[in-house]
């Protein structure tokens, strides 16, 4: 199914490379520029190593590292030199690219942002992380929803970032919008290894969707990221798994046409369809109500857990952040 990492690309295949990028630690404009050069060079490596590769995916934090430094001097802007260099790399090497930036926000904390450019340098997807990894991460909550885009060779793509993938609603939203390949970029460290694997598999199986996921890799002298690139088929079975070797590009051919086939023809475990058509054997068309209390409460702005008052961490104080005073305006 993996086509030997794209060595034997099929007419309907999409070959993706997941870059297990060495974890950086930039704190100056000069260090950020050097890291941009490193990522641009890796785009070239991706193309040289595989003529068949359609898309190269870089992890979350691939420019900024895990320091959580929110210094405006090293934040990126969509019209800034860092994004321009990433865009140009896709043009120069005739390849799609998925990149991570920490985006300057004049109205609050920076956004944790993901970008996808096509092989002509056109921005195809612009996403701001919906679920920062609290209480550790200081990023502003995303306000763009979960966008999807048409990808290479007729595929439909979405991008979620790191902790987003721990919420099954994120993957379900992607599939509901027609996504066949869900990318997940991350900066996770080794304690999350097991959770990383089982959620990548569950997100794929529960939505008849293929997932392609990658973390930063190696040590910056303080943190140790795990790499662990992972491709999972729509039946939940891993196709290709990476390791902890920094700067390795792990490749796989995915088949979105088989995702589309399964979504149409599967009966048993076609969960993305059955979710909105409960018990269609017993009642015509299945029950199409919404029996989930948490969905109703969330929609009304009344989401509240039975143990809400006992939750200890409700802001970033434990990690040195001052309690926020602003409320979210979506």
> Among the options 129, 137, 206, 253, which is catalytic?
129
Q: For residues 305 and 74, give the distance between their C-alpha atoms in angstroms, rounded to a whole number.
A: 38
- The tokens for 230 are 């992972």
Question: What proportion of the chain, given as a percentage, has pLDDT over 70?
Answer: 99
How many domains are contained in the chain? Answer: 1
What's the CATH code of the domain at 251? 3.60.110.10
129 is annotated as an active-site residue: yes
pTM of the entire structure?
0.97
Assess if residue 179 is contained within a domain.
yes
215 is annotated as an active-site residue: no
How many other C-beta atoms can be found within 10 angstroms of the C-beta atom of residue 305? 10
pLDDT band at 247 (very low <50, low <70, confident <90, very high): very high
Phi-psi region of 101 (alpha: psi -120 to 50; beta: other; left: phi over 0): beta
Assess if residue 283 is contained within a domain.
no
- The tokens for 296 are 């109703």
Segments forming the whole domain that contains residue 129: 3-274
Assess if residue 110 is contained within a domain.
yes
Assess if residue 286 is contained within a domain.
no
Backbone angles phi, psi at 156, to 5 degrees: -120, 125
Assess if residue 57 is contained within a domain.
yes
Q: What is the mean pLDDT of the chain?
A: 97
Instruction: Report the pLDDT averaged over residues 228-246.
Output: 97
> Among the options 90, 98, 162, 252, which is catalytic?
162
- For residue 3, the model assigns a pLDDT of 77
Assess if residue 300 is contained within a domain.
no
137 is annotated as an active-site residue: no
Assess if residue 287 is contained within a domain.
no
């Amino acid at each position: 199914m993996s086509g030997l990492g794209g060595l034997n690309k099929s007419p309907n295949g999409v070959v993706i490379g997941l870059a297990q990028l060495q974890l950086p630690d930039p704190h100056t404009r000069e260090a950020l520029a050097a890291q941009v050069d490193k990522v641009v060079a890796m785009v070239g490596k991706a193309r040289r190593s595989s003529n068949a590769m359609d898309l190269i995916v870089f992890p979350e934090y691939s420019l900024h590292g895990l320091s959580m430094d929110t210094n405006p001097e090293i934040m990126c802007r969509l019209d800034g030199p860092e994004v321009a260099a990433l865009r140009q790399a896709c043009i120069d090497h005739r390849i799609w690219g998925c990149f991570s930036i920490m985006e300057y926000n004049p109205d609050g904390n920076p956004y944790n942002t993901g970008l996808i450019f096509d092989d002509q340098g056109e921005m195809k997807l612009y996403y701001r992380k919906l679920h920062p990894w609290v209480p550790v991460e200081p990023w502003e909550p995303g306000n763009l929803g979960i966008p999807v885009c048409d990808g290479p060779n007729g595929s439909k793509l979405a991008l979620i970032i790191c902790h987003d993938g721990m919420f099954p609603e994120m993957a379900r939203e992607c599939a509901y919008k027609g996504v066949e390949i869900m990318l997940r970029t991350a900066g996770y460290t080794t304690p999350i290894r097991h959770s990383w694997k089982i959620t990548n598999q569950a997100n794929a199986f529960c939505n008849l969707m293929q997932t392609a996921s990658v973390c930063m890799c190696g040590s910056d002298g303080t943190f140790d990221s795990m790499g662990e690139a992972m491709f999972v088929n729509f039946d939940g079975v891993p196709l290709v798994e990476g390791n902890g070797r920094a700067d390795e590009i792990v490749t796989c051919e995915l088949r979105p046409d088989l995702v589309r086939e399964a979504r149409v023809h599967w009966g048993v475990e076609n969960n993305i369809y059955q979710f909105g058509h409960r018990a269609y054997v017993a009642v015509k068309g299945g029950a199409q109500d919404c029996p989930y209390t948490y969905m109703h409460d969330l929609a009304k702005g009344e989401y509240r857990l039975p143990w809400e008052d006992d939750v200890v961490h409700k802001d970033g104080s434990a990690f040195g952040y001052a309690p926020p005073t602003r409320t979210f305006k979506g």
